[in-house]
């Protein structure tokens, strides 16, 4: 047991500390030494036996939301057991602690709240953010996942209810890449919410006010970023689920100044690029020969497009040539120059064309080889649209990435394309059988990217996270889909192997960071053994 815990925690205080509590696994000697005698049942159990009981409890729960609530309670009382359960079957539990169940949990967050995790920094703390951050009990925080709750999983602005997102994201750093959990800190920046229904909810836990004007918000975020540099100087800031315009603005403002990234923009872009790399290997085609159509023109579409442009430039296209291969539509129609509502970032992809809201007509005109949905509009890819893509392309690439509701299901995509679609969604669909053919749809989910990127960052402490590193993360992932898997139409590695996949990606990213001169630590002789030596394993420390 940690030495400081031995001297400072005893009795019920020890049982109530999830980082050090091991419940029925405390030995007789430990029970006597730490004042636990009489506070626990007499049976002494192994971690495996405790996990067996937890899994039985989970099996008995009627819904995934109930399983989420159970797991939230478990991590609050025994962190080691929680990660033992999660890491025993990531394919089963990632969709519970993350999307899609996490979206349902966030909607109900204030109603299912049990006890605090992470930190809540509100506008009322302006001028004192560094002081408040010092209330966190861990000094060496390496990752902060921070949200305002302004745009959560297609749910819109849910304010402080968005805290479930940074909690869940950081749990995946550990569950999927074995980043030590004590180095992570979820933070909710509570700036109020535009959601009047939440403000009127008597159980809502956040500030009951509208968000501030942009200038005030910018000053608050600037204070937060500066405070992190002061209190946790080795920390990487992971921006998550901010309102689209804020997400783009703050990434551009801070990406060259501090160690940070935006997962909605860069993580989505990287995992999408990885799936495209694999799909194009199956088709034996180059990225720079593709034509892309996005349904959705927000921060995810723009970040993905910008990364695709850089990847196509690496294949020899000019920036203008690469941008010309990308067309966008959103709720207001085609992104084209006559629109007065476009941001500067959107105007980069505003190509001369007649205004239209007609997606099928745009497909006929543009003739895309790749159709990507980031619209949050479930069911937007209809039979007509998928059939058009299959008419234009022998192997249409269809990526409905919206969470929790995809633009089309895997079964629909395969049925409407006569089984020819190369498909990945933001959520995981079950395998689809058509006649004798079995299709294994991919999940273009960011958990294939950010945990491994996090582990590499934890190990090498780079000065910045660059787009080149994000592109390398995509290649590191795609290179782990072998030809046998490709022959089955798989665009991503199996989720059951996520820990091995992420450690392999982290090793490759670490090598890239060292070769690029970005690391702030010395390069080891054997990168993999060095990184594996830093990883977390859910196990109880041996008693002294």
In this structure, are residues 254 and 225 in contact, taking their beta carbons and an 8 Å threshold? yes
Catalytic residue among 84, 107, 169, 243: 169
Flag whether 151 is marked binding. yes
The segment(s) of the chain belonging to CATH 3.40.50.10380 are 96-262
Average pLDDT, the chain: 95
Give yes or no: 169 in active site: yes
Q: How many CA atoms lie within 13 A of 334 on its CB side?
A: 21
The answer on pLDDT for 426 being more than 70 is: yes
52 marked among binding-site residues = no
Distance CA 511, CA 521 (A): 12
Residue 26 has a pLDDT of: 97
Percentage with pLDDT > 90 across the chain: 90
The answer on whether 445 is annotated among ligand-binding residues is yes
> Is 2 labeled as ligand-binding?
no
pLDDT value for 488: 84
Task: Say yes or no to pLDDT of 517 above 50.
Answer: yes
Q: What percent of the chain has pLDDT over 70?
A: 98
Residue 543 banded pLDDT, cuts 50, 70, 90: very low
Radius of gyration, alpha carbons of the chain:
24
Determine whether domain 267-446 maps to CATH 3.40.50.720. Answer: yes
Q: Distance between CA atoms of 532 and 229, rounded to whole angstroms?
A: 27
pLDDT at residue 487 in the model: 86
Per-residue confidence (pLDDT) for residue 4, from 0 to 100:
42
**pLDDT(142) > 50:** yes
User: For 253-310, what is each residue's pLDDT tens digit?
Assistant: 999 999 999 999 999 999 999 999 999 999 999 999 999 999 999 989 999 999 999 9
Give 348-401 pLDDT, tens digit per residue: 999 999 999 999 999 999 999 999 999 989 999 999 999 999 999 999 999 999
DSSP calls for 299-349: HHHHHHHHHHHHHHHHTT--HHHHHHTEEEEETTEE--TT-SS--HHHHTT
Q: Which residues contact 490 (CB under 8 A, 6 or more apart)?
A: 278, 440, 442, 481
Per residue in 147-202, pLDDT (tens digit) is 999 987 667 899 999 999 999 999 999 999 999 999 999 999 999 999 999 999 99
Residue 334 has what pLDDT? 98
Report the pLDDT value the prediction gives residue 6, as an integer from 0 to 100: 44
pLDDT of res. 232 = 98
Q: Exposed (0-12), middle (13-18) or buried (19+): which is 369, by Cβ within 10 Å?
A: buried
Catalytic site residue from 34, 68, 98, 540: 98
Residue 474 phi, psi dihedral angles, 5° rounding: -65, -45
C-alpha span between 67 and 58 (Å, rounded): 6
Do 481 and 448 form a contact (C-beta atoms < 8 A)? no
| pLDDT of 428 strictly over 90 | no
3-74: what CATH class? Answer: mainly alpha
Has this prediction a pTM greater than 0.85? yes
**Residue 5 pLDDT greater than 60, yes or no:** no
Confidence of residue 542 (pLDDT cuts 50, 70, 90): low
pLDDT at 7: 46
Q: Which has more pLDDT, 437 or 327?
A: 327
pLDDT of 448-502, one tens digit each? 999 999 999 999 999 999 999 999 999 999 999 999 999 888 999 999 999 999 9
pLDDT tens digits along 93-120: 998 998 888 888 999 999 999 999 999 9
Q: CATH 1.20.1370.30 residue ranges in the chain?
A: 3-74
CATH 3.40.50.720, the chain: domain bounds: 267-446
Beta-strand relationship, 260-262 and 326-330: unpaired
- Which tens digits make up the pLDDT trace of 210-265? 999 999 999 999 999 999 999 999 999 999 999 878 999 999 999 999 999 999 99
Helix (H) or strand (E) holding 293: strand 292-295
pLDDT in tens, 25-66: 999 999 999 999 999 999 999 999 999 999 999 999 999 999
Give the number of other Cβ atoms within 10 Å of residue 14's Cβ.
21
What's the CATH architecture for 96-262? 3-Layer(aba) Sandwich (3.40)
3-state SS class at 292: strand
């Amino acid at each position: 047991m940690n030495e400081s815990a031995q001297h400072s925690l005893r009795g019920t205080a020890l049982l109530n500390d999830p980082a050090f509590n091991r419940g029925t696994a405390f030995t007789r000697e430990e029970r006597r030494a730490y004042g636990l005698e009489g506070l626990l049942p007499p049976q002494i159990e192994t971690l495996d036996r405790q996990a067996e009981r937890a899994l039985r409890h989970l099996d008995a729960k009627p819904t995934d939301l109930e399983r989420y609530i159970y797991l939230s309670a478990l991590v609050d009382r025994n962190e080691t057991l929680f990660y033992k359960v999660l890491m025993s079957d990531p394919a089963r539990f990632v969709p519970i602690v993350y999307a899609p169940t996490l979206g349902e949990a966030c909607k109900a967050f204030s109603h299912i709240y049990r006890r605090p995790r992470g930190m809540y920094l509100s506008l009322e703390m302006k001028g004192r953010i560094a002081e408040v951050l010092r209330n966190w009990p861990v000094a060496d925080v390496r990752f902060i996942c921070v949200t305002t709750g302004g745009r959560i999983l297609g749910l819109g602005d849910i304010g402080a209810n968005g805290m479930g997102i940074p909690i869940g994201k950081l749990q995946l750093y550990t569950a999927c890449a074995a980043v030590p959990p004590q180095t992570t800190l979820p933070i909710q920046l509570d700036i109020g919410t535009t959601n009047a229904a939440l403000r009127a909810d008597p159980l809502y836990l956040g500030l009951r006010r509208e968000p501030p004007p942009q200038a005030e918000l910018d000053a608050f975020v600037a204070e937060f970023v500066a405070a992190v540099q002061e209190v946790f100087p080795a920390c990487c800031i992971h921006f998550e689920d901010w309102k689209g315009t804020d997400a783009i603005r703050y990434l551009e403002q801070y990406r060259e100044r501090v160690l940070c990234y935006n997962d909605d923009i860069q993580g989505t872009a990287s995992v999408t690029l990885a799936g495209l790399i694999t799909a194009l290997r199956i088709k034996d085609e180059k990225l720079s020969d593709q034509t892309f159509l996005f349904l959705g023109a927000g921060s995810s579409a723009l970040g993905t497009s910008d990364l695709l442009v850089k990847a196509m430039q690496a294949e020899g296209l000019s920036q203008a040539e690469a941008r010309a291969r990308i067309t966008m539509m959103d709720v207001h129609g085609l992104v084209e120059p006559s629109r007065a509502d476009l941001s500067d970032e959107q105007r980069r992809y505003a190509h001369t064309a007649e205004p239209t809201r007609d997606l099928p007509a745009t497909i006929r005109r543009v003739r895309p080889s790749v159709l990507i949905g980031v619209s949050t509009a479930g069911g937007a890819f209809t039979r007509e649209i998928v059939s058009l893509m299959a008419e234009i392309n022998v192997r249409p690439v269809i990526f409905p990435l919206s969470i929790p509701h995809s633009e089309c299901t895997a079964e629909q995509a395969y049925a409407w394309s006569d089984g020819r679609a190369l498909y990945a969604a933001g959520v995981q669909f079950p395998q689809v059988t058509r006649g004798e053919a079995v299709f294994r749809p991919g999940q273009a989910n960011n958990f294939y990217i950010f945990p491994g990127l996090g582990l590499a960052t934890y190990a090498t402490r780079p000065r910045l996270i660059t787009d080149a590193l994000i592109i390398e993360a995509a290649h590191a992932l795609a290179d782990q889909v072998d030809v046998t898997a490709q022959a089955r139409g798989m665009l991503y590695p199996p989720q059951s192997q996520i820990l091995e996949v992420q450690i392999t990606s982290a090793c490759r990213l670490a090598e890239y960071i060292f070769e690029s001169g970005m690391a702030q630590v010395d390069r080891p002789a054997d990168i993999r053994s060095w990184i594996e030596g830093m990883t977390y394993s859910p196990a109880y420390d041996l008693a002294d």
